[in-house]
Protein backbone atom coordinates (compact mmCIF):
# COMPACT_ATOMS: atom_id res chain seq x y z
CA UNK A 1 0.00 0.00 0.00
CA UNK A 2 1.26 3.47 -0.85
CA UNK A 3 2.74 5.11 2.27
CA UNK A 4 1.40 8.53 1.27
CA UNK A 5 -2.11 7.11 1.19
CA UNK A 6 -1.62 5.77 4.74
CA UNK A 7 -0.45 9.17 6.02
CA UNK A 8 -3.44 10.86 4.41
CA UNK A 9 -5.87 8.48 6.05
CA UNK A 10 -4.32 9.10 9.48
CA UNK A 11 -4.38 12.88 9.14
CA UNK A 12 -7.84 13.35 7.75
CA UNK A 13 -9.90 12.85 10.97
CA UNK A 14 -7.95 15.59 12.79
CA UNK A 15 -8.28 18.04 9.93
CA UNK A 16 -12.03 17.66 9.61
CA UNK A 17 -13.00 17.03 13.24
CA UNK A 18 -16.23 18.84 13.95
CA UNK A 19 -16.82 21.61 16.46
CA UNK A 20 -20.23 22.56 17.79
CA UNK A 21 -21.60 26.10 17.60
CA UNK A 22 -24.62 26.52 19.88
CA UNK A 23 -26.79 29.26 18.36
CA UNK A 24 -28.91 30.84 21.11
CA UNK A 25 -31.53 33.15 19.63
CA UNK A 26 -32.88 35.23 22.51
CA UNK A 27 -34.56 37.67 20.10
CA UNK A 28 -38.32 38.03 19.91
CA UNK A 29 -38.11 37.35 16.19
CA UNK A 30 -36.97 34.60 13.87
CA UNK A 31 -33.41 35.04 12.61
CA UNK A 32 -31.97 33.80 9.33
CA UNK A 33 -28.21 33.43 9.73
CA UNK A 34 -25.91 34.05 6.80
CA UNK A 35 -22.67 32.06 6.75
CA UNK A 36 -19.38 32.44 4.87
CA UNK A 37 -16.04 30.66 5.24
CA UNK A 38 -13.74 27.98 3.91
CA UNK A 39 -15.18 25.45 3.57
CA UNK A 40 -18.71 26.72 3.06
CA UNK A 41 -21.13 25.04 5.48
CA UNK A 42 -24.92 24.65 5.35
CA UNK A 43 -24.83 26.25 1.89
CA UNK A 44 -24.37 29.57 3.69
CA UNK A 45 -27.62 29.91 5.61
CA UNK A 46 -29.82 28.52 8.38
CA UNK A 47 -33.00 29.56 10.21
CA UNK A 48 -33.34 29.90 13.98
CA UNK A 49 -36.79 30.45 15.46
CA UNK A 50 -37.42 33.20 18.02
CA UNK A 51 -36.46 32.31 21.60
CA UNK A 52 -34.92 29.01 20.53
CA UNK A 53 -31.56 27.33 20.05
CA UNK A 54 -29.91 25.32 17.31
CA UNK A 55 -26.59 23.46 17.19
CA UNK A 56 -24.53 23.51 14.02
CA UNK A 57 -21.41 21.51 13.18
CA UNK A 58 -18.33 23.45 12.06
CA UNK A 59 -15.15 21.76 10.78
CA UNK A 60 -11.90 22.12 12.65
CA UNK A 61 -9.67 24.27 10.46
CA UNK A 62 -12.54 26.54 9.38
CA UNK A 63 -10.95 29.66 7.86
CA UNK A 64 -12.35 33.19 7.54
CA UNK A 65 -15.67 32.08 8.99
CA UNK A 66 -18.42 34.67 9.22
CA UNK A 67 -21.88 34.34 10.72
CA UNK A 68 -24.34 37.22 10.69
CA UNK A 69 -28.04 37.73 11.45
CA UNK A 70 -30.56 38.53 8.75
CA UNK A 71 -33.86 40.03 9.85
CA UNK A 72 -37.34 40.63 8.46
CA UNK A 73 -36.79 38.09 5.68
CA UNK A 74 -39.54 37.09 3.27
CA UNK A 75 -40.18 35.62 -0.14
CA UNK A 76 -41.23 38.27 -2.64
CA UNK A 77 -42.18 36.95 -6.07
CA UNK A 78 -39.88 33.98 -5.70
CA UNK A 79 -36.95 36.02 -4.38
CA UNK A 80 -35.84 35.65 -0.76
CA UNK A 81 -34.96 39.08 0.63
CA UNK A 82 -34.10 40.46 4.08
CA UNK A 83 -34.15 43.97 5.50
CA UNK A 84 -30.74 43.58 7.17
CA UNK A 85 -27.82 41.33 6.22
CA UNK A 86 -29.43 40.44 2.89
CA UNK A 87 -27.37 38.22 0.58
CA UNK A 88 -29.90 37.73 -2.20
CA UNK A 89 -28.31 37.88 -5.65
CA UNK A 90 -28.46 36.11 -9.01
CA UNK A 91 -25.39 34.07 -7.97
CA UNK A 92 -27.40 32.24 -5.30
CA UNK A 93 -30.70 32.35 -7.12
CA UNK A 94 -32.12 34.69 -4.46
CA UNK A 95 -32.51 31.70 -2.15
CA UNK A 96 -32.44 31.63 1.65
CA UNK A 97 -28.94 30.11 1.61
CA UNK A 98 -26.28 32.69 0.77
CA UNK A 99 -24.04 30.22 -1.11
CA UNK A 100 -20.88 32.12 -0.15
CA UNK A 101 -22.22 35.62 -0.81
CA UNK A 102 -21.69 38.22 1.93
CA UNK A 103 -24.46 40.15 3.61
CA UNK A 104 -25.36 43.75 2.92
CA UNK A 105 -24.38 46.13 5.74
CA UNK A 106 -25.22 47.04 8.37
CA UNK A 107 -24.76 43.62 9.94
CA UNK A 108 -23.12 42.50 13.18
CA UNK A 109 -20.56 39.79 12.43
CA UNK A 110 -19.33 36.78 14.39
CA UNK A 111 -15.92 35.93 12.93
CA UNK A 112 -13.89 32.74 13.40
CA UNK A 113 -10.74 31.00 12.29
CA UNK A 114 -10.46 27.59 13.96
CA UNK A 115 -7.15 25.82 14.57
CA UNK A 116 -5.28 28.66 12.93
CA UNK A 117 -1.76 29.96 13.53
CA UNK A 118 -0.16 28.19 16.49
CA UNK A 119 -3.13 25.84 16.76
CA UNK A 120 -5.32 28.53 18.31
CA UNK A 121 -8.86 29.54 17.46
CA UNK A 122 -9.37 33.22 16.70
CA UNK A 123 -12.79 34.80 17.14
CA UNK A 124 -14.39 38.21 17.49
CA UNK A 125 -17.58 40.23 17.29
CA UNK A 126 -17.26 42.85 14.57
CA UNK A 127 -19.03 46.15 13.95
CA UNK A 128 -16.88 46.93 10.91
CA UNK A 129 -20.00 46.52 8.75
CA UNK A 130 -22.15 48.30 11.33
CA UNK A 131 -24.37 46.90 14.05
CA UNK A 132 -27.71 45.27 13.36
CA UNK A 133 -28.06 43.28 16.57
CA UNK A 134 -26.43 42.77 19.96
CA UNK A 135 -24.31 39.62 20.11
CA UNK A 136 -22.13 37.50 22.38
CA UNK A 137 -19.56 34.82 21.48
CA UNK A 138 -18.16 32.66 24.25
CA UNK A 139 -16.48 29.27 24.58
CA UNK A 140 -18.82 26.79 26.23
CA UNK A 141 -17.68 26.10 29.82
CA UNK A 142 -15.87 22.78 30.13
CA UNK A 143 -15.54 22.45 26.36
CA UNK A 144 -12.35 24.38 25.59
CA UNK A 145 -8.63 24.56 26.37
CA UNK A 146 -7.01 27.85 27.33
CA UNK A 147 -4.12 29.17 25.25
CA UNK A 148 -0.69 29.03 26.87
CA UNK A 149 -0.10 32.77 26.67
CA UNK A 150 -0.55 34.76 29.91
CA UNK A 151 -0.26 38.08 28.06
CA UNK A 152 -3.65 37.50 26.42
CA UNK A 153 -5.47 38.29 29.65
CA UNK A 154 -9.23 38.49 29.12
CA UNK A 155 -8.76 37.64 25.44
CA UNK A 156 -7.78 34.08 26.43
CA UNK A 157 -11.03 32.14 25.95
CA UNK A 158 -13.05 35.14 27.12
CA UNK A 159 -16.54 36.17 26.12
CA UNK A 160 -16.78 38.74 23.32
CA UNK A 161 -19.94 40.76 23.93
CA UNK A 162 -21.52 43.73 22.21
CA UNK A 163 -24.70 45.20 23.74
CA UNK A 164 -25.46 48.11 21.44
CA UNK A 165 -28.00 50.93 21.68
CA UNK A 166 -28.63 52.27 18.14
CA UNK A 167 -30.25 55.40 19.57
CA UNK A 168 -26.75 56.58 20.48
CA UNK A 169 -25.67 56.26 16.86
CA UNK A 170 -25.17 59.56 14.93
CA UNK A 171 -28.21 60.35 12.77
CA UNK A 172 -26.28 59.95 9.51
CA UNK A 173 -25.52 56.32 10.45
CA UNK A 174 -29.00 55.37 11.68
CA UNK A 175 -31.08 53.19 9.38
CA UNK A 176 -34.36 51.26 9.67
CA UNK A 177 -34.36 47.47 9.81
CA UNK A 178 -37.71 47.15 8.04
CA UNK A 179 -39.72 46.65 11.23
CA UNK A 180 -39.42 50.16 12.65
CA UNK A 181 -36.31 49.39 14.71
CA UNK A 182 -33.06 51.27 14.24
CA UNK A 183 -29.74 49.79 13.20
CA UNK A 184 -26.40 51.56 12.91
CA UNK A 185 -24.30 51.53 9.74
CA UNK A 186 -20.55 51.97 9.66
CA UNK A 187 -19.33 55.18 8.06
CA UNK A 188 -18.03 53.18 5.08
CA UNK A 189 -21.42 51.53 4.56
CA UNK A 190 -23.26 54.82 5.03
CA UNK A 191 -21.36 56.75 2.36
CA UNK A 192 -22.02 53.99 -0.18
CA UNK A 193 -25.75 54.04 0.57
CA UNK A 194 -27.41 56.38 -1.92
CA UNK A 195 -30.45 57.00 0.30
CA UNK A 196 -28.29 57.97 3.27
CA UNK A 197 -26.18 60.30 1.12
CA UNK A 198 -29.32 61.97 -0.19
CA UNK A 199 -30.47 62.65 3.38
CA UNK A 200 -27.14 63.83 4.79
CA UNK A 201 -24.86 66.24 2.97
CA UNK A 202 -22.11 65.30 5.44
CA UNK A 203 -22.00 61.81 3.92
CA UNK A 204 -22.14 63.16 0.39
CA UNK A 205 -19.14 65.40 1.06
CA UNK A 206 -17.10 62.46 2.35
CA UNK A 207 -18.10 60.36 -0.65
CA UNK A 208 -17.21 63.11 -3.13
CA UNK A 209 -13.57 63.18 -1.94
CA UNK A 210 -11.85 60.01 -3.27
CA UNK A 211 -9.07 60.13 -0.69
CA UNK A 212 -11.41 60.58 2.28
CA UNK A 213 -13.76 57.95 0.88
CA UNK A 214 -10.86 55.50 0.77
CA UNK A 215 -9.67 56.51 4.23
CA UNK A 216 -12.93 55.77 6.08
CA UNK A 217 -13.14 52.40 4.32
CA UNK A 218 -9.42 51.58 4.71
CA UNK A 219 -9.45 50.69 1.03
CA UNK A 220 -6.74 50.57 -1.63
CA UNK A 221 -8.74 52.91 -3.85
CA UNK A 222 -6.88 55.85 -2.28
CA UNK A 223 -3.93 53.91 -0.87
CA UNK A 224 -5.24 53.49 2.69
CA UNK A 225 -5.43 49.71 2.95
CA UNK A 226 -2.51 48.78 5.22
CA UNK A 227 -2.78 48.40 8.98
CA UNK A 228 -1.03 51.17 10.93
CA UNK A 229 0.63 48.40 12.97
CA UNK A 230 2.06 46.68 9.87
CA UNK A 231 5.63 47.75 9.14
CA UNK A 232 6.23 45.10 6.47
CA UNK A 233 3.47 45.38 3.87
CA UNK A 234 4.08 48.20 1.37
CA UNK A 235 1.38 50.77 0.74
CA UNK A 236 -0.48 53.57 2.46
CA UNK A 237 -1.66 53.02 6.00
CA UNK A 238 -5.14 53.64 7.37
CA UNK A 239 -5.07 55.89 10.43
CA UNK A 240 -8.45 56.08 12.14
CA UNK A 241 -7.38 59.29 13.92
CA UNK A 242 -7.38 61.02 10.51
CA UNK A 243 -10.99 60.12 9.70
CA UNK A 244 -13.50 62.97 9.49
CA UNK A 245 -15.71 63.28 12.55
CA UNK A 246 -19.42 62.63 12.76
CA UNK A 247 -22.12 65.30 12.79
CA UNK A 248 -22.01 64.94 16.59
CA UNK A 249 -18.24 65.58 16.56
CA UNK A 250 -17.38 62.04 17.60
CA UNK A 251 -14.89 59.68 15.98
CA UNK A 252 -16.72 57.14 13.86
CA UNK A 253 -14.86 54.20 15.34
CA UNK A 254 -15.76 55.42 18.85
CA UNK A 255 -19.46 55.27 17.94
CA UNK A 256 -19.04 51.51 18.28
CA UNK A 257 -16.03 51.22 20.60
CA UNK A 258 -17.64 53.36 23.30
CA UNK A 259 -20.52 50.89 23.63
CA UNK A 260 -18.73 47.69 22.66
CA UNK A 261 -15.11 47.96 23.84
CA UNK A 262 -14.42 44.27 23.14
CA UNK A 263 -15.70 44.26 19.53
CA UNK A 264 -14.09 45.45 16.31
CA UNK A 265 -14.97 49.08 15.63
CA UNK A 266 -12.96 49.50 12.41
CA UNK A 267 -10.95 47.33 10.03
CA UNK A 268 -7.64 47.31 11.93
CA UNK A 269 -8.93 47.19 15.49
CA UNK A 270 -7.14 43.86 16.04
CA UNK A 271 -5.25 44.66 19.24
CA UNK A 272 -8.38 45.28 21.33
CA UNK A 273 -10.87 42.89 19.76
CA UNK A 274 -9.39 39.50 18.82
CA UNK A 275 -9.90 36.57 21.20
CA UNK A 276 -8.04 33.26 21.21
CA UNK A 277 -8.95 29.82 22.52
CA UNK A 278 -8.22 26.20 21.64
CA UNK A 279 -10.27 23.11 20.81
CA UNK A 280 -13.43 24.94 21.79
CA UNK A 281 -17.11 24.61 21.16
CA UNK A 282 -18.78 28.00 21.08
CA UNK A 283 -22.08 29.64 21.95
CA UNK A 284 -23.32 32.54 19.84
CA UNK A 285 -26.04 34.53 21.59
CA UNK A 286 -28.27 36.79 19.51
CA UNK A 287 -30.00 39.65 21.35
CA UNK A 288 -28.41 38.79 24.71
CA UNK A 289 -30.88 40.04 27.37
CA UNK A 290 -32.64 42.14 24.75
CA UNK A 291 -36.32 43.04 24.99
CA UNK A 292 -36.65 44.50 21.52
CA UNK A 293 -35.66 41.51 19.42
CA UNK A 294 -33.31 43.87 17.64
CA UNK A 295 -30.22 45.82 18.57
CA UNK A 296 -30.16 45.55 22.33
CA UNK A 297 -30.10 48.58 24.53
CA UNK A 298 -31.48 47.33 27.82
CA UNK A 299 -31.63 44.69 30.48
CA UNK A 300 -29.36 42.59 32.61
CA UNK A 301 -26.68 40.46 30.99
CA UNK A 302 -25.34 37.26 32.50
CA UNK A 303 -21.86 36.50 31.19
CA UNK A 304 -19.46 33.62 31.76
CA UNK A 305 -15.94 34.99 32.29
CA UNK A 306 -14.19 31.62 32.30
CA UNK A 307 -14.41 31.04 36.04
CA UNK A 308 -17.86 32.12 37.18
CA UNK A 309 -21.03 33.92 36.16
CA UNK A 310 -21.09 37.71 36.40
CA UNK A 311 -24.15 39.94 36.22
CA UNK A 312 -24.14 43.36 34.59
CA UNK A 313 -27.10 45.64 34.08
CA UNK A 314 -28.54 48.62 32.27
CA UNK A 315 -28.60 52.01 33.95
CA UNK A 316 -30.95 53.69 31.50
CA UNK A 317 -34.18 52.41 33.03
CA UNK A 318 -35.45 51.08 29.71
CA UNK A 319 -38.89 49.47 29.54
CA UNK A 320 -38.26 45.74 29.69
CA UNK A 321 -41.87 44.69 30.13
CA UNK A 322 -41.69 42.25 27.21
CA UNK A 323 -38.88 40.19 28.70
CA UNK A 324 -39.89 37.05 30.52
CA UNK A 325 -37.36 36.35 33.28
CA UNK A 326 -37.25 33.37 35.62
CA UNK A 327 -35.17 32.90 38.79
CA UNK A 328 -33.02 30.39 36.92
CA UNK A 329 -32.27 32.83 34.12
CA UNK A 330 -31.43 35.68 36.47
CA UNK A 331 -30.35 35.00 40.03
CA UNK A 332 -29.73 31.31 39.69
CA UNK A 333 -26.66 31.92 37.54
CA UNK A 334 -25.05 34.23 40.07
CA UNK A 335 -25.84 31.79 42.86
CA UNK A 336 -23.27 29.42 41.37
CA UNK A 337 -20.46 31.63 42.72
CA UNK A 338 -19.28 31.84 46.31
CA UNK A 339 -19.98 35.57 46.46
CA UNK A 340 -21.78 37.82 44.03
CA UNK A 341 -20.51 41.39 43.96
CA UNK A 342 -23.25 42.84 41.79
CA UNK A 343 -26.92 43.33 42.36
CA UNK A 344 -29.75 44.47 40.13
CA UNK A 345 -33.42 45.16 40.45
CA UNK A 346 -35.17 45.51 37.13
CA UNK A 347 -38.89 45.38 36.42
CA UNK A 348 -39.82 42.50 34.13
CA UNK A 349 -43.02 40.83 33.13
CA UNK A 350 -43.73 38.31 35.86
CA UNK A 351 -41.73 40.00 38.58
CA UNK A 352 -38.59 41.88 39.46
CA UNK A 353 -35.21 40.31 38.93
CA UNK A 354 -33.29 41.14 42.09
CA UNK A 355 -29.67 40.35 42.83
CA UNK A 356 -28.10 41.57 46.07
CA UNK A 357 -24.45 42.03 46.96
CA UNK A 358 -22.62 39.26 48.78
CA UNK A 359 -23.70 35.64 48.68
CA UNK A 360 -26.81 35.05 46.60
CA UNK A 361 -29.27 32.22 46.31
CA UNK A 362 -32.26 31.40 44.15
CA UNK A 363 -34.59 32.16 47.05
CA UNK A 364 -33.67 35.84 47.11
CA UNK A 365 -32.96 36.30 43.42
CA UNK A 366 -36.56 36.78 42.38
CA UNK A 367 -38.84 39.34 43.98
CA UNK A 368 -41.91 41.42 43.15
CA UNK A 369 -41.54 43.70 46.14
CA UNK A 370 -40.60 46.95 44.43
CA UNK A 371 -41.69 47.47 40.80
CA UNK A 372 -40.45 51.08 40.76
CA UNK A 373 -36.75 50.26 40.98
CA UNK A 374 -34.76 49.98 37.77
CA UNK A 375 -31.14 48.99 38.21
CA UNK A 376 -28.03 49.50 40.29
CA UNK A 377 -24.54 48.23 41.04
CA UNK A 378 -22.49 48.50 44.22
- 272 shares its domain with 334: no
Task: Select the more confidently predicted residue: 377 or 232.
Answer: 232
pLDDT band at 128 (very low <50, low <70, confident <90, very high): very high
Q: Kindly state the average pLDDT of the residues 248-270.
A: 92
- CATH code of residue 88: 2.60.110.10
> β-strand 282-286 against 18-25: which pairing, if any?
parallel
- 107 shares its domain with 164: yes
- 278 shares its domain with 355: no
- Name the maximum alpha-carbon separation found in the chain: 77
Q: Is residue 229 part of a domain?
A: no
Q: Is residue 133 part of a domain?
A: yes
Other C-beta atoms closer than 10 Å to the C-beta of 225 total 18
Q: Contact at 8 Å (CB) between 84 and 70?
A: yes
- 314 shares its domain with 180: no
- 283 shares its domain with 312: no
Alpha helices in 220-267 (DSSP H): 252-257
Q: Is residue 174 part of a domain?
A: yes
Q: Domain range spanning residue 152?
A: 6-184+263-292
Decide which of 292, 309, 341 is a domain's last residue.
292
- Tens of pLDDT along 52-68? 999 999 999 999 999 99
Instruction: Please report the pLDDT score of residue 289 as a whole number.
Output: 66
Other C-beta atoms closer than 10 Å to the C-beta of 63 total 13
- 37 shares its domain with 171: yes
Cα–Cα distance, 366 to 102 (Å, whole number): 43
Give whole-number Cα distances, 249 to 87, 112, 170, 223, 252, in Å: 33, 33, 9, 25, 9
- 282 shares its domain with 378: no
Instruction: Please report the pLDDT score of residue 17 as a whole number.
Output: 66
- 353 shares its domain with 320: yes
pLDDT band at 225 (very low <50, low <70, confident <90, very high): confident
- 165 shares its domain with 35: yes
pLDDT band at 28 (very low <50, low <70, confident <90, very high): confident
Q: Is residue 244 part of a domain?
A: no
Hey, which of 105-114, 142-151, 349-358 has the most confident mean pLDDT?
Answer: 105-114
Task: Select the more confidently predicted residue: 319 or 272.
Answer: 272
Q: Is residue 249 part of a domain?
A: no
- 281 shares its domain with 349: no
Q: Is residue 242 part of a domain?
A: no
Q: Is residue 207 part of a domain?
A: no
Q: Kindly state the average pLDDT of the residues 168-189.
A: 92
Give whole-number Cα distances, 16 to 3, 10, 117, 368, in Å: 21, 12, 16, 51
Cα–Cα distance, 274 to 268 (Å, whole number): 11
Instruction: Please report the pLDDT score of residue 181 as a whole number.
Output: 85
- Tens of pLDDT along 279-315? 999 999 999 864 333 433 333 333 333 433 333 333 2
Cα–Cα distance, 211 to 224 (Å, whole number): 8
Cα–Cα distance, 218 to 128 (Å, whole number): 11
- 324 shares its domain with 279: no
H or E segment to which residue 333 belongs: helix 331-334
Check pLDDT > 60 for residue 167: yes
Q: Is residue 211 part of a domain?
A: no
Decide which of 275, 292, 309 is a domain's last residue.
292
Beta bridge partners of residue 47, listed in sequence order: 32
Q: Kindly state the average pLDDT of the residues 75-100.
A: 90
Task: Select the more confidently predicted residue: 123 or 347.
Answer: 123
**How many separate domains does the chain show?**
2
Q: Contact at 8 Å (CB) between 48 and 23?
A: yes
- Tens of pLDDT along 355-375? 333 333 333 333 333 322 223
- 287 shares its domain with 325: no
Decide which of 272, 292, 312 is a domain's last residue.
292
Q: Kindly state the average pLDDT of the residues 137-143.
A: 94
Beta bridge partners of residue 332, listed in sequence order: none
Amino acid sequence: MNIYFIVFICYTPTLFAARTFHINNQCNQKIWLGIQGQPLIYSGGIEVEARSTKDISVPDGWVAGRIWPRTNCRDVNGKFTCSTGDCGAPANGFRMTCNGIGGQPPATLAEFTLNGWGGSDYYDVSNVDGNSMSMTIRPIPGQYTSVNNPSLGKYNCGGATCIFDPNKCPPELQMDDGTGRKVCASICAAIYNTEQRARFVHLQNIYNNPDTRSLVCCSCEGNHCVSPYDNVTPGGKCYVEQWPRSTQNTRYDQVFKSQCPDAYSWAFDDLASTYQCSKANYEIILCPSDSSGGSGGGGSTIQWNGNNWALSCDFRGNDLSNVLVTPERCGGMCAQTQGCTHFTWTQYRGGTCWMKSGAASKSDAFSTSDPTMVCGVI
